[in-house]
Amino acid sequence: MSIKTPFVHRLVVNIAFVFWIALTITHSRAHATYTPDVDLHAIKNDLPVPYDTIISHALSLIGTPYMWGGSTPNGFDCSGFIKYVFAKTGVYTPRTISEIWNYSSDVPNPSIGDLVFFETYKPGPSHAGIYLGNGNFIHAGSSSGVKISNLNSKYWKSKYIGSKRINIISGQKSENSTIPIGSISVKKAPYRQ
């Protein structure tokens, strides 16, 4: 059985292309080089949370599928994505969008690393993403998984209800840290499977 030269050539070219794509994605995820319209150097250094690291973690997850209730790189819903990304930096966030909304502080205009909230399928905040700058935010969308979208698109502009910043008191907090709730503080128990 002989293999025709054009077939072999196409096969080699296709394999090389797939290898190049895999290498590019791996390099992009490892170094967060794929950042459309996001200038990581523009991140404010005076913010209490390492937003550049949070953004890098978030960008490394582009393409992760959507999964209702998901909170791992196997699949995320929007709040699971936010919780996972912030936790990778040692920053506690609650698990649901309404809890995150209540836990965070209002900001008049989002800065890089702030959260942007939307009213989608029910009244009140029901979806959120992490603001990247220039109107872009990264989120786990139910139709396409982790991706970058723009606040100025017709859909997201009509659903936008505000931006907020994660409350950080005297540095970073992990899930085992004391969490401020009103005028009292409670100790959050670690998650156990």
So which residues are the catalytic ones?
A: 78, 127, 139
Let me know whether 45 and 11 are in one domain: no
Provide the pairing of β-strand 136-141 with 127-133.
antiparallel
pLDDT digits (tens, 9 = 90+) for 77-92: 999 999 999 999 889 8
pLDDT band at 6 (very low <50, low <70, confident <90, very high): low
Q: Does the structure show a pLDDT above 70 at 19?
A: no
**Euclidean distance between CA atoms 32 and 60, whole angstroms:** 6
With contact defined as beta carbons under 8 Å apart, do 55 and 113 qualify? yes
The answer to whether residue 121 sits within a structural domain is: yes
Let me know whether 11 and 82 are in one domain: no
- What letters, b where the CB count within 10 A reaches 16 and e where it falls short, cover 10-28? eeeeeeeeeeeeeeeeeee
The answer to whether residue 133 sits within a structural domain is: yes
Let me know whether 21 and 100 are in one domain: no
Report the pLDDT value the prediction gives residue 24, as an integer from 0 to 100.
41
Domain count, the chain: 2
pLDDT digits (tens, 9 = 90+) for 98-151: 999 999 999 999 999 999 999 999 999 999 999 999 999 999 999 999 999 999
Let me know whether 64 and 4 are in one domain: no
Residue that the structure tokens 């025709």 belong to: 4
Domain containing residue 68: CATH number: 3.90.1720.10
- As a whole number, the mean pLDDT across the chain is 74
Report the pLDDT value the prediction gives residue 20, as an integer from 0 to 100.
39
Let me know whether 17 and 94 are in one domain: no
* Domain with 109 in it: 38-187
Let me know whether 10 and 60 are in one domain: no
Lowest pLDDT segment from 8-12, 68-72, 157-161: 8-12
Let me know whether 12 and 105 are in one domain: no
Contacts 24+ apart (CB under 8 A), 31-36: 32/56, 32/59, 32/60, 34/59, 34/62, 35/59, 35/132, 36/136, 36/148
Question: Would you state the structure tokens that stand for residue 171, as one six-digit string?
Answer: 């540095």
